[in-house]
Amino acid sequence: MWQEAFSERTDCDWDDALAASARPGLEELKAFLDWTHIKHCLLRPFFETAAYPLVEPRELLPSFEVDLHEYKELPGFSMVAFDRPLQSFREVFQYDVLHGLADWRTEDLLRAPCVLEPALLKANLQTFQSRLSKRLHEKFLKQFSESDICALPLYSELMQFLLQLERAHVLARNAEGHFSLCGIWASFPSDLDTELKRFGMKIGKFSHADNLRYECNRLFVYQFLMETYGFPMASERRTSAALFSRRLSRMGEAYLVRVLGQSDRTITTLFSPRRNQRWPKVEKIALVEVPPEQKDALELLRDLGFLVDEKRRAIILRVTYKQHKYDPKNVREDRALSVHRQEIIHPRTGRVLDHLNVLKDAGSMLLTLNDIVRGEYHGRHTYKRQEVITETSTHEQRLKVLHSWLSKHQHRLIEYSDDFFARLTKILDIYLMAPANFEIFSNFEQLHHEVWAKYNAVQQARKIKILEDLRSRQYKGKAVSYRDALRLMCDILGQLKFELVNYFDELVEKALAIGTDVLNDAYLHRNYVEKKDDALTDYGREVKKLYGRLVGLRDEIRSIRKARQGSRDAT
């Protein structure tokens, strides 16, 4: 039974923990909500649904995929919590107000006609009941007819009805300073058009009244903006939560916004416990299926009792993400998030295990890739947000899954070691370049070309990533001198000059931008470039010579690129 999960803790434990603090903050409230939502929104449906769709680890890795299937039988909700009392007239969103017993003696309510405790409780029940389906009215009234539904100790019990509401519920501090349920049926404001255009202008992807530039870059800006707040371009519920969180951050609020989607089966939290944070912390909690290849991890999890279901290898995984500022010079330009921390939560005690890498296991990635090219992979991949592929029995399916796999992991593949990438290259080359497959691939020429393009983009980006590191005088994780950094940059750009025809133009542009940044280095100019040769040491003269060589390579590449663009325009 699902009730057995978390059995060593009770709702009362959390109530006592909240009460023990003189003034519990959003951190304590979040711990209580984590407990309640895992219990009622993940564990309960898992044990009550015969084939609960567990989340695959890769689904929690950015960039997030759009799930084209919605599980209507699973719970979904949205909520917001504030570290302050609500002021109905001043709030920037609409909701139905609930007043708890702690509020009924306040000055505002004393002026109202319904100042008696029974009348206040009845008003709350009527408000909540009016937003429930009629079939639930009798059960709701039977359970809460004489209760203060605003009180936090009843929140867990009330959860079954909150999950039936189409809109969000609201938690905030009551008149006594304690957290309580203060509103339901909340609508998060979502001015997507304004936010999208403002953000696109800020990062330089849009220009005023330039329709073509807007049309070309709109999806990029939309995806980057949404992913900064932990979501793909998905449902209205998740879009409005992201944009509402963005607005609250701009207003300097301390808040918590939480969403559970029926398609992603994941509790996503946007958490800003302190005022005036630039971005909220992004966190996701889901029931995840541990890959069978991670045998050591599974054995440890089994021994320590962290598996929710041994047969299905299910765990409760909480992932915290790190946000990245948009940087047009970064080779991973579209990376808005990366995984910061992984925590596996014990299904009975709530204990946390944080040293296992369930999501980014390199060994599992290579095994998965092997399974794909052999036609032995079974799982869900979305091809270009249009088609769900669940198996790889045909070459067409393999190519589509490969395209999806490379798109999903391209940020990580750029960073992995040379040894890992060499093994990956061997697997892909054997499949994509096998003479026995040439005739087969000719039937899927466009699809085969798309996979090669993705593969080549990753290979090229790895070289540009080396330039990016050298800009900060880092090479393979170690600090290098100006001389060594310039020598390596010249070697890479020298190769690039002869391979330019095969390179993606946007990557060439980034290579040129990186080279220009290095050439504009004030320290280099002051200590080497501007000094006469006789005033320099042998080391200094070599640095100055390499600097001049770098200038020449940059200008050559610029000229070749300009000539290529001119020939393309002429045709």
- Token code pair at residue 176: 């006594």
Amino acid 19: pLDDT = 47
Are 235 and 380 found together in one domain? no
Burial 229-259 (b: 16+ CB within 10 A, else e): bbbbebbebbbbbbbbbbbbbeeebbbbbbb
Instruction: Tell me if 258 is assigned to some domain.
Output: no
- Asked which of 136, 157, 184 is the last residue of a domain, the reply is 184
> Is the domain of 443 the same as that of 495?
no
Check whether residue 395 and residue 492 sit in a common domain: no
- Do residues 32 and 132 share a domain? yes
In angstroms, the CA 527 to CA 537 distance is 11
Q: Is residue 245 part of a domain?
A: yes
Task: Specify the pTM.
Answer: 0.86
Clarify whether residues 339 and 391 are in a common domain.
Answer: no
- What is the per-residue pLDDT across 90-145, written as a single tens digit (0 to 9) for each? 999 999 999 888 776 555 555 555 456 778 889 999 999 999 999 999 999 999 99
Are 8 and 115 contained in the same domain?
yes
Instruction: Give tens-digit pLDDT for 426-443.
Output: 999 999 998 988 889 999
Give Rg (Cα) of the chain.
28
The size of the chain, in residues, is 571
Q: Is residue 463 part of a domain?
A: no
pLDDT value, residue 190:
85
* 367/514 same-domain check: no
Residue 401 counted as domain residue: yes
pLDDT at residue 564 in the model:
75
Using a 10 angstrom Cβ sphere, with 0-12 exposed, 13-18 middle and 19 or more buried, the burial of residue 51 is exposed
Whether residues 511 and 569 fall in one domain: yes
Given a cut of 50, the residues of the chain with pLDDT beneath it are 1-2, 10, 12, 14, 19-20, 114
Number of structural domains, the chain?
A: 4
212 shares its domain with 278: yes
Domain that holds residue 523: 472-571
Q: Is the dihedral of CA 556, 557, 558, 562 positive or negative?
A: positive
Burial pattern 180-208, b for ≥16 Cβ within 10 A else e, equals bbbbbbbebebeeeebbeebbeebebbee
CA–CA distance, 31 with 9 (Å, rounded to integer): 13
In angstroms, the CA 335 to CA 491 distance is: 27
Are residues 365 and 345 part of one domain? no
Cα 125–Cα 128–Cα 129 angle in degrees, nearest 5 = 80
Alpha-carbon span 44 to 149, nearest angstrom? 22
Q: Burial of 521 by CB count in 10 Å (0-12 exposed, 13-18 middle, 19+ buried)?
A: middle
For residue 465, being part of any structural domain is answered with no
Is 15 a member of any domain?
Answer: yes
Which residue, of 402, 427, 456, is where some domain finishes?
Answer: 456
Q: Which of 43, 45, 47 lies closest to 74 in space, CA to CA?
A: 45
* Residue at a domain's end among 353, 381, 400: 353
Phi, psi angles (nearest 5°) of residue 352: -115, 135
Q: Are residues 347 and 375 in the same domain?
A: no
- Quick check: is 43 in a domain? yes
Please tell me whether residues 174 and 25 are part of one structural domain: yes
Residue 145, CA atoms < 13 Å, CB-side half-sphere:
6
Is there a domain that residue 466 lies in?
no
